[in-house]
């Protein structure tokens, strides 16, 4: 049975970045598994009205594939998926893709030093396995008494049901996070009325941007240097935002004042403003961008319920405050299972599954490799997300690290890389120390960056993109156990 050099799981941004980096490094023996019918990851799955990226499009794209043709400063979701389809074609990855092919399980075979990957239809053997499964893939559905009794259409924002006609309907939305601030203004235009259940208000800053004129798109297409400079400017702006998100007193105060000014400018009612004002530190939860959310909530089309949805009985929704509302359609904008990655149960290393290894929260070395899991690489996993800049940049740095690590693997007689437990423990301690005084840990909120089981910051990288790049490029291979030297007779 043929042994594939590298199998990549997932065909979103991270998976395509990884496969492209391998191809450009001359590593053509790669297969990309994708359980869905198309590439695109979160931008394939999230199609709710108003879905768009909150990172400027010219930065939320791969360095190897700049795109002068973005139609808006913040690209709509469908346009991002189209971009990823184009990336797959331009990278020559179409023949490497296996769509409708899930990873149902993967186990390290120590005797043959390969990963055995179960796809349901066949078993694949691979020297190395890269998990690029994403962290926003499995919708989180909260436990709400009586939820199953809801009488009308009920769906998560990440599985939006476009067949439901909202005309004349009373719509309830649960959640006020990143998806909700995009979705609620759109629903307010379409439904008879929207009731919004808010457990915790978000810090929201102006979004700005808008359509990119055709003349500007043509100028960037004709001048690659101008496009590169624009990307560099956006990157620098993003890096500057780290200070306000991570707790720098001056920067955080300025950002908080800007957010409050935005709220006051768009919401006239003092009581409503108070309900929309966070009581936790700026940056503790994900900072959101919107110019449309506050006006929608302040309009007659929306009722804000400033407590969580406590129970459901048929079409009656009861809030934690005791208030009761009637609804015809219920939309859950309740986020994703991010701290506990769903794929972790499927992957077994030397002695345990990733889920068992991560039972107290995700750990790694370099946010990419894990002790006890030889020749395994995880993108968008432990401490590889950002709260201030484009996460695509992180995936690209991880992909570059994987290419370097595979070169190290090939120099070894046994072609196996095993992470030293001490290296993983030291990296984890670095993360914990860097995170300890940040708003993510001390800001007085509950966020999806912190694993509730251990209280550790496991999703975010507590530094800049530049510091992450330096950390990975500075890795000298000592994170791996020494190569096995065959005994000569």
Per-residue confidence (pLDDT) for residue 338, from 0 to 100: 80
β-sheet bridge partners, residue 16: none
Residues 328 and 347 in one domain: no
In a domain, 233, yes or no: no
Residues 266 and 344 in one domain: no
In a domain, 446, yes or no: yes
Q: What angle do CA 228, 232, 233 make, to 5 degrees?
A: 120
Q: How many residues does the chain have?
A: 489
Domain of residue 268 covers 147-203+248-332
Task: Give, for all 489 residues of the chain, the pLDDT tens digit.
Answer: 899 999 999 999 999 999 999 999 999 999 999 999 999 999 999 999 999 999 999 999 999 999 999 999 999 999 999 999 999 999 999 999 999 999 999 999 999 999 999 999 999 999 999 999 988 788 999 999 999 999 999 999 999 999 999 999 999 999 999 999 999 999 999 999 999 999 999 999 999 999 999 999 999 999 999 999 999 999 999 999 999 999 999 999 999 999 999 999 999 999 999 999 999 999 999 999 999 999 999 999 999 999 999 999 999 999 999 999 999 999 999 998 887 888 999 999 999 999 999 999 999 999 999 999 999 999 999 999 999 999 999 999 999 999 999 999 999 999 999 999 999 999 999 999 999 999 999 999 999 899 999 999 999 999 999 999 999 999 999 999 998 744 333
In a domain, 229, yes or no: no
Instruction: Return all residues near 263 (Cβ < 8 A) that are at least 6 apart.
Output: 204, 273, 276, 277, 294
In a domain, 214, yes or no: no
Per-residue confidence (pLDDT) for residue 28, from 0 to 100: 96
Per-residue confidence (pLDDT) for residue 162, from 0 to 100: 97
Residues 199 and 343 in one domain: no
Instruction: Return all residues near 233 (Cβ < 8 A) that are at least 6 apart.
Output: none
In a domain, 32, yes or no: yes
CA atoms within 13 Å, Cβ hemisphere of 464: 13
Q: Which of 252, 258, 295, 222 is nearest to 387 (CA)?
A: 252
Residues 293 and 414 in one domain: no
Residues 160 and 300 in one domain: yes
Residues 13 and 52 in one domain: yes
In a domain, 218, yes or no: no
Per-residue confidence (pLDDT) for residue 488, from 0 to 100: 38
Residues 436 and 381 in one domain: yes
In the chain, the number of structural domains is: 2
Per-residue confidence (pLDDT) for residue 339, from 0 to 100: 79
Predicted model pTM: 0.95
Per-residue tokens: 272: 């409503």
Residues 252 and 160 in one domain: yes
Q: Which residue has the tokens 């403003």?
A: 273
Residues 272 and 392 in one domain: no
In a domain, 415, yes or no: yes
Per-residue confidence (pLDDT) for residue 340, from 0 to 100: 84
Question: Which CATH number characterizes residue 393's domain?
Answer: 3.50.50.60
Residues 111 and 171 in one domain: no
**Among candidate residues 272, 303, 332, the one where a domain is terminated:** 332
Per-residue tokens: 122: 């066949």
Residues 272 and 388 in one domain: no
Residues 180 and 321 in one domain: yes
CB 289 within 8 A of CB 206: yes
In a domain, 241, yes or no: no
Phi, then psi, of 350 in degrees rounded to 5: -60, -50
Under the phi-then-psi rule, with left for phi > 0, alpha for psi from -120 to 50, and beta for the rest, what region is 247?
left
């Amino acid at each position: 049975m043929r042994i594939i050099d590298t199998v990549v799981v997932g065909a979103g941004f991270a998976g395509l970045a990884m496969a492209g980096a391998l191809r450009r490094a001359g590593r053509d023996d790669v297969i990309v598994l994708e359980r869905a019918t198309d590439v695109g990851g979160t931008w394939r799955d999230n199609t709710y009205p108003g879905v768009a990226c909150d990172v400027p499009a010219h930065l939320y794209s791969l360095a190897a594939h700049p795109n002068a043709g973005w139609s808006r400063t913040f690209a709509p979701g469908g346009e991002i998926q189209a971009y990823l389809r184009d990336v797959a074609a331009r990278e020559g990855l179409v023949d490497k893709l296996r769509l409708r092919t899930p990873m149902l399980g993967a186990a390290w075979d120590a005797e043959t030093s390969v990963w055995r990957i179960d796809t349901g239809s066949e078993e694949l053997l691979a020297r190395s396995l890269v998990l690029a499964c994403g962290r926003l893939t499995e919708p989180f559905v909260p436990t709400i008494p009586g939820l199953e009794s809801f009488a009308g259409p009920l769906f998560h924002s990440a599985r939006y049901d476009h067949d439901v006609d909202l005309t004349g309907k009373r719509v309830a939305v649960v959640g006020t996070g990143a998806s909700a601030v995009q979705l609620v203004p759109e629903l307010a235009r379409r439904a008879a009325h929207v009731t919004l259940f808010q457990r915790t208000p978000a810090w929201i800053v102006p979004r700005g941007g808008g359509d990119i004129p055709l003349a500007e798109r043509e100028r960037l297409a004709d001048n690659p240097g101008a496009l590169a400079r624009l990307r560099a400017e956006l990157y620098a702006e993003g890096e500057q935002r780290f200070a306000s998100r991570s707790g720098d007193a001056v920067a955080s105060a300025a950002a908080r004042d800007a957010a409050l000014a935005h709220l006051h400018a768009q919401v006239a009612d003092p009581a409503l403003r108070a309900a929309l004002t966070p009581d936790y530190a700026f940056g503790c939860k994900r900072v959101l961008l919107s110019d449309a959310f506050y006006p929608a909530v302040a309009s007659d089309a929306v009722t804000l319920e400033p407590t969580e949805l406590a129970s459901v009985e048929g079409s009656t929704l009861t809030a934690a405050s005791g208030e009761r509302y009637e609804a015809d359609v219920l939309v859950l904008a309740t986020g994703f299972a991010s701290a506990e990655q769903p794929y972790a149960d499927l992957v077994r290393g030397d002695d345990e599954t990733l889920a068992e290894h991560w039972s107290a929260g995700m750990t790694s070395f370099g946010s990419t490799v894990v002790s006890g899991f030889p020749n395994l690489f995880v993108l968008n996993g432990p401490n590889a997300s950002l709260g201030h800049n484009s996460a695509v940049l992180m995936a690209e740095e991880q992909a570059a690290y994987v290419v370097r690590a595979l070169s190290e693997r090939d120099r070894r007689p046994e072609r196996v890389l095993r992470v030293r437990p001490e290296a993983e423990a030291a990296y984890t301690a670095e993360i914990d120390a860097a995170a300890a005084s940040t708003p993510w840990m001390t800001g007085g909120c509950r966020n999806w960056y912190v694993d509730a089981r251990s209280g550790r910051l496991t999703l975010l990288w507590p530094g800049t993109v530049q510091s992450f790049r330096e950390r990975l490029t500075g890795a000298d291979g000592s994170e791996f156990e020494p190569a096995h030297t065959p005994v000569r007779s």
